[in-house]
Amino acid sequence: MTHAGKSQARRGSRGGFVPACLVVAALAACAEHDPEHAADFDVLARFGEVGRSPGQFVKPRAIDADARSLYVVDMTARVQRLDPDSGRCTAWWQLPDFEFGRPVGLSVGPWVDGSTVLYVPETHYFRVSVFRLPDAMGHPPDLLLRFGEYGEGPGQFIFPTDVAVLPTPDGTRVERLYVAEYGGHDRVSAFDPEGRFLFAFGAFGPEGVGDDPAGIYFNRPQSIAIDRARRELIVCDAANHRLGRFTLGGDLLAWIGSPDSAGDAPGRFKYPYGLALPGDGTALVCEYGNGRIQRIDLETGRSLGLFGRSGRGDAQAASPWGVALIGRRLFVLDSGHSRVLTIEAPARRGGGA
Amino acid sequence: MMLLASIRLGPVEFQTPVWLLLIPALGVLTVLMAMRSLSGLGRVTRWAALLARLFVITFLAGALAEPQWRKEGKDVSVTLVLDMSQSVPASLQQRVIRFAEEARAVNPRREDRLGMVTIARNSYVQSLPRALNTTLETSTIGATDGTDLASGLRLAMAVASQDAANRIVIASDGNQTTGNLLDEAQRAKAVGVPIDVIPLTYTYESEVMVDRVVAPATARMGEVINLRVVVNATQPADGRLNILLNDEAIDLDPDSPALGTPVSLQPGPNVLQLPIKVPRPGAQRFEAVFEPEVRAGVAVGDARLENNRQQAVTFVSGESKVLVLRARTDEAQTLVQALTEARIDCDVRAADHMPATLAELNAFDAVVMVNQSAYDYTQKQQEDLRQYVHDGGGGLIMIGGPDAFGAGGWIGSPVEDALPVRLDPPQKRQMPKGALALIVHSVEIPDGVYYGKKVSEAAVNALSRLDDVGIVEFDWQRGTRWVHPLGPVGDGTATKRAIQNLTFGDMPDFTPSFELALAGLKKSDAGQKLTIVISDGDPSPPGNALLRSFRDAGVSITTVAIGVHGITDQTTMQTIAERTGGRFYNVQQAAVATLPQIFFKEAQTVRRSLLWEGTPFSPSASLGAAEQLRGIGLPVPPIAGYVVTADREGLSLVSMRGKENDPILAQWQYGLGRAIAFTSDASPRWAQAWLAWPQYRAFWEQQVRWVMRPTGSANIRVTTDVRGDQTILTVDVLDAHGERLNFATFVGRVALPDGSGEHLQLRQVGPGRYQGLVKTEQPGSYLTSLRYRAASQDGRPMEGAVQAAINRPFADEFRALKDNAGLLEQARALTGGRLIGPDPQRADLWAREGLKMPVTTTPIWLAVALGAVGLFLADVGVRRVRIDPAAIARAARRVLVPGKARAAQTESLRQARAQAKARLEEQAAAGPDQRVYLPSPQTASRKFEAAPDARPGEVLTARAEPLRPPPRPEEPKSEPSKEEGMSRLLKAKQRAREETEE
- Judge whether B134 is closer than 8 Å to chain A, CB to CB: yes
At residue B659, the 3 state secondary structure works out as: helix
Q: What values do phi and psi take at B577, rounded to 5?
A: -65, -45
Q: Is residue A22 in a domain?
A: no
CA B144 to chain centre: 21
The pLDDT assigned to B713 comes to 52
For every residue of B777-813, DSSP letters joined together read -SSEEEEEEEEEEEE-TTS-EEEEEEEEEEEE-S-GG
Contact A53 B135 (CB under 8 A): yes
Chain A environment of B159 (Cβ under 8 Å): none
Contact residues, chain B, for A310 at CB < 8 Å: 476-477
Helix axes B696-707, B329-341, angle to 10 degrees: 80
**Per-residue pLDDT at B944:** 36
Nearest-CA distance from B156 to chain A in Å?
17
Residue B454, strand partner residues? none
Low pLDDT (below 50) residues in chain B: 1-2, 930-963, 966, 968-976
Chain B residues with beta carbon closer than 8 angstroms to that of A100: 565-566
Secondary structure (DSSP) of B613-638: EEEEEPPEE-GGG-GGGTTPPSSPPP
How many domains would you assign to chain A?
1
pLDDT at A352: 38
pLDDT of amino acid A93: 92
Nearest CA in chain A to B565: A100
Q: CB-CB: which of A53, A56, A220 is closest to B508?
A: A220
Interface contact flag, B132 A51, Cβ < 8 Å:
yes
Give the domain CATH number at A210.
2.120.10.30
User: Complex ipTM, two decimals?
Assistant: 0.83
Q: What is the pLDDT of residue A353?
A: 35
A325/A284 Cα distance (integer angstroms): 9
Residue A2 lies in a domain: no
Contacts with B557 (C-beta within 8 Å, 6 or more apart), sequence order = B514, B530, B531, B532, B533, B547, B550, B576, B577, B580, B582
Low-confidence stretches of chain A (pLDDT beneath 70) = 1-37, 207-210, 350-353
pLDDT at site B315: 77
For B371, counting Cβ atoms within 10 Å of its Cβ (0-12 exposed, 13-18 middle, 19+ buried), the class is: buried
| Dihedral angle of Cα B384, B386, B389, B392, to the nearest 10 degrees | -40
Chosen for mutation from A49, A53, A61 (greatest number of chain B CBs closer than 10 Å) is A53
Whether the Cβ atoms of residue B126 and residue B156 lie closer than 8 Å to each other: no
DSSP-derived letter for residue B471 is E
Q: Does A54 touch chain B (CB under 8 A)?
A: yes
Residue A352 lies in a domain: no
Nearest to A53 among B134, B545, B565 (CB): B134
Segment B657-678, tens digit of pLDDT: 998 889 999 999 888 889 999 9
- Preceding peptide of B596 cis, ω within 30°: no
Candidates A55, A271, A336; nearest CB to B132? A55
DSSP character at residue B373: -
> Is B713 an 8 Å CB contact of chain A?
no
Mean pLDDT (chain A) is: 87
Q: Which of residues 561-620 of B touch A (CB under 8 A)?
A: 565-568, 571-572
Judge whether A56 is closer than 8 Å to chain B, CB to CB.
Answer: yes
**Nearest residue of B to residue A204 by CA position?**
B543
Give pLDDT, residue A291.
95
Expressed as residue numbers, the domain containing A52 is 32-344
* Contact in structure between B465 and B431 (CB atoms under 8 Å): no
Dihedral sign from CA coordinates of B359, B364, B366, B369: negative
B128 touches chain A (CB under 8 A): yes
The answer to whether residue A266 neighbours chain B at the CB level (below 8 Å) is no
A282 and A290 in contact (C-beta within 8 Å)? no
Asked if residue A21 belongs to a domain, the reply is: no
User: What CA–CA distance (Å, rounded) separates B488 from B483?
Assistant: 14
Contacts of A49 in chain B (CB under 8 A): 130, 132
CB atoms under 10 Å from CB of B617, counted, come to 11
Q: pLDDT tens, B530-543?
A: 898 988 888 999 98
Write out chain A in H/E/C secondary structure: CCHHHHHHHHHHCCCCHHHHHHHHHHHHHHCCCCHHHCCCCCEEEEECCECCCCCCECCCCEEEECCCCEEEECCCCEEEEECCCCCCEEEEEECCCCCCCCCCCCEEEECCCCCEEEEEEEHHHCEEEEEECCCCECCCCCEEEEECCECCCCCCECEEEEEEEEECCCCCCEEEEEEEEECCCCEEEEECCCCCEEEEECEECCCCCCCCCCCCEECCEEEEEEECCCCEEEEEEHHHCEEEEEECCCCEEEEECCHHHCCCCCCCCCCEEEEECCCCCEEEEEECCCCEEEEEECCCCCEEEEECCECCCCCCECCCCEEEEECCEEEEEEHHHCEEEEEECCCCCCCCC
**Selection from B607, B600, B471, B599 nearest residue B526 by Cα:** B607
B537 to chain A: nearest residue by CA?
A183
Q: Test B134 with A219 for CB contact under 8 angstroms.
A: no
Residue A307 lies in a domain: yes
DSSP secondary structure letter of residue B966: P
Pick left, alpha or beta for residue A257 (phi over 0 → left; psi -120 to 50 → alpha; otherwise beta): left
Residue A297 covered by a domain: yes
Q: How many CB atoms lie within 10 A of CB A18?
A: 8
Task: Confirm whether A93 is domain-assigned.
Answer: yes
Q: What is the reported pLDDT for B941?
A: 35
Q: Specify which residues A193 forms β-bridges with.
A: none
Dihedral angle, C-alpha B356, B357, B358, B360, nearest 10 °: -90
Q: How many beta-carbon contacts under 8 Å exist across A and B?
A: 93
Q: Are B470 and B437 in contact (CB under 8 A)?
A: yes
- pLDDT tens-digit map of B224-258: 888 889 898 888 888 989 999 877 888 887 777 87
Chain A residues inside the 8 Å CB shell of B511: 219, 239
In the beta sheet, which residues pair with residue B245?
A: B248, B286
Indicate whether A235 belongs to any domain: yes
Contacts with B451 (C-beta within 8 Å, 6 or more apart), sequence order: B443, B562, B592, B593, B595
Distance CA B31, CA B44 (A): 15
